[in-house]
Amino acid sequence: MAEVHGQDIHLLGITQVPSFGLRKGSIIDIESTAKSIDNSLNELERLTGIEVYSALIGFSGVSISIVNNHAVIAVANPTYEITLEDKERVLNSARNLSLPLDKAIIQIIERQYIVDSYDGVKDPVGMVGSRLEAEVSIVVGAIAAIQNLQRSANKINLHVNGLMYNALLGAESVLSPAETEMGVALVDIGGGTTEVSYFEEGSIIHTSVLPVGGEYITKDLAIVLRTSMEEAKRVKEKHGVASPDKARSDLMINVHNIQGKSAQQVSQQVIAEIISARVLEITELIYAELKQFGCLNRMPGGIVLTGGAAELAGLADAMEEYSSIPVRIGLPENMKGLPTDFNRPQNAVVLGGVLYSARQAAIKSGDSPRFIGVIDRITYWLKDLFR
């Protein structure tokens, strides 16, 4: 939660609670998911003293994909001045896709317009031309997944101001305009999923959601070390490293058994060997996605890692060594004056939501927006999903 005063953003607080009712980024239990959201909001209200009635909600899931489309229309105005109606017509033409019955358009991202063969136009309204083209990226997802998210919010009387794909929100807080213009891959490794997205010319071009994440590393540790998920998570976060080369064989870690009554000593190197196997698998899957996107040779921005699992020590080095592509950890540094405790990869999406919401509020109030991001030009097509 944050307060916006003109062009200044004051962060009031961030809360984090266990997410029940989710698996691989998708809702499998509406009641449990609604309770998790409610617990988070209650904690936020206790922390800030402000009641929450509505929110921008980020979403993800393995059903998410992006379709790039192109549309052309003739300008209807006899004076050839492009109007808002012309812009809406070309966007409507661009969203005409043949989709399976269980899929729907979630967002349309306006990448650029072309007026009489002049490309790179951000907003064609008011320009003069006889031919108007639009290049868009269309975010497609499962109708059921979006409806389940909406119903989880309805359970606790939370009004949804808007839905935004998590990769777009993460990019808002961790990527620079130069990176998104020249070419960069954003990899958000969460608990149950990993989002792999490629940005170029200021817009998202490709994305996919892999059904693996940091929870799989935790589960591997729990199984091999015969301990609980809670203890495995503690060991991973406090002593885990992504590569055995970075670990110490003489550093012994106390690991409690699944009942928590007795403990065994395990070297940090053994822990790293367990972790590295899953890290290698995730890295291979990420590399395969980037190869399929066809962007490996045209991403001077390299790979930016974010999400909770990105905080694993040595992860960026391990991925850089495997891929021979520069890798950096994506901190939400686009939000100025952020307290050190909040400046972490796991907060990238939520802080991206704050930046986006602040800019929308500035536009509505008529102020000049301070933050220019990759999701400035988004049209929502959600109304038909919730009837």
Taking residues 379-386, what's their average pLDDT? 45
Question: Please, what is the average pLDDT of the chain?
Answer: 89
Q: What is the C-alpha separation between 193 and 211, in angstroms, rounded? A: 5
Tell me the pLDDT band of 375, cut-offs 50, 70 and 90. Answer: low
Which whole number is the average pLDDT over 65-83? 92
Residue 89, pLDDT score: 94
**Closest listed residue to residue 305, CA positions, set 314, 313, 316, 297:** 316
Whether residue 367 is predicted with pLDDT greater than 70 in this model: the reply is no
355: left (phi over 0), alpha (psi -120 to 50) or beta: alpha
Q: Tell me the C-alpha distance between 56 and 103, whole Å.
A: 22
Over 90: is that where the pLDDT of 280 sits?
Answer: yes
Q: What is the pLDDT of residues 190-219, one digit of tens each?
A: 988 999 999 999 999 999 999 999 999 999
Distance CA 226, CA 214 (A): 18
- Residue 1: pLDDT over 50: yes
pLDDT category of residue 8 using cuts at 50, 70 and 90: confident
According to the model, what pLDDT value does residue 90 have?
Answer: 95
Q: What is the pLDDT of residues 339-354, one digit of tens each?
A: 888 899 999 999 998 8
Cβ neighbours of residue 322 under 8 Å, at least 6 residues apart?
Answer: 280, 283, 284, 287
Rg for the chain, CA atoms, rounded: 22
pLDDT above 90: residue 380: no
> For residue 386, what pLDDT band results from cuts at 50, 70 and 90?
very low
The pairing of beta strand 327-329 with beta strand 303-306: parallel
- CA dist 30 to 36, 144, 146, 164, 359, Å? 10, 12, 12, 19, 31
Q: Encode pLDDT of 92-128 as tens digits.
A: 999 998 899 999 888 889 999 999 999 999 999 999 9
Least confident window among 21-35, 104-118, 236-250: 21-35
Nearest C-alpha neighbor of 86 from the set 49, 48, 57, 115: 115
Average pLDDT over residues 213-233: 95
pLDDT for residue 373:
60
Residue 252 neighbours by CB under 8 Å, 6+ apart: 265, 266, 267, 268
The predicted model gives 314-341 an average pLDDT of 91
Asked if residue 23 has pLDDT above 50, the reply is yes
**Per-residue pLDDT tens digits for 289-312:** 999 999 999 999 999 999 999 999
Bridge partners of 216, per DSSP, are none
| Best CA proximity match to 47, nearest among 81, 2, 107, 103 | 2
How far apart CA 210 and CA 248 sit, in angstroms, is 31
Q: Region 173-178: what's the mean pLDDT?
A: 94
pLDDT at 337 over 80: no
What is the total residue count of the chain?
387
Report whether pLDDT(20) > 90.
Answer: no
pLDDT value, residue 387: 41
Q: Which residues pair with 72 in a beta bridge?
A: 133
Identify the burial level of 209 via C-beta atoms within 10 angstroms of its C-beta, where 0-12 means exposed, 13-18 middle and 19 or more buried. Answer: buried
Task: Assign 297 to helix, strand or coil.
Answer: coil
Say what the pLDDT of residue 25 is: 75
pLDDT at 385 exceeding the cut of 80: no
Indicate the range of 20-24, 83-87, 251-255 predicted with least confidence: 20-24
Q: How confident is the model at residue 15 (pLDDT cuts 50, 70, 90)?
A: confident
Q: What percent of the chain has pLDDT over 90?
A: 64
- Domains along the sequence of the chain with CATH: 65-143 (3.30.1490.110), 214-278 (3.90.640.10)
DSSP 333-360: TTSTT--GGG-SGGGHHHHHHHHHHHHH
| CA dist., res. 77 & res. 169, Å (int) | 37
Cα distance between residue 88 and residue 379, in whole Å: 10
Structure confidence by residue, pLDDT tens digits, 120-151: 999 999 999 999 999 999 999 999 988 998 89
CB 264 within 8 A of CB 253: no
Q: For the chain, where are the alpha helices, taking DSSP H only?
A: 30-48, 84-94, 143-155, 166-174, 177-182, 214-225, 229-239, 268-293, 315-323, 348-365
Q: Are 114 and 73 in contact (CB under 8 A)?
A: no
User: Would you state the pLDDT for residue 340?
Assistant: 82
Both tokens of 18, joined, read 């266990």
Amino acid letter for position 280? L
| pLDDT score at 77 | 86
* Amino acid sitting at position 107: Q
Residue 266's SS3 state is strand
Q: Please compute, for residue 168, the number of CA atoms within 13 A of its CA located in the half-sphere on the CB side.
A: 32
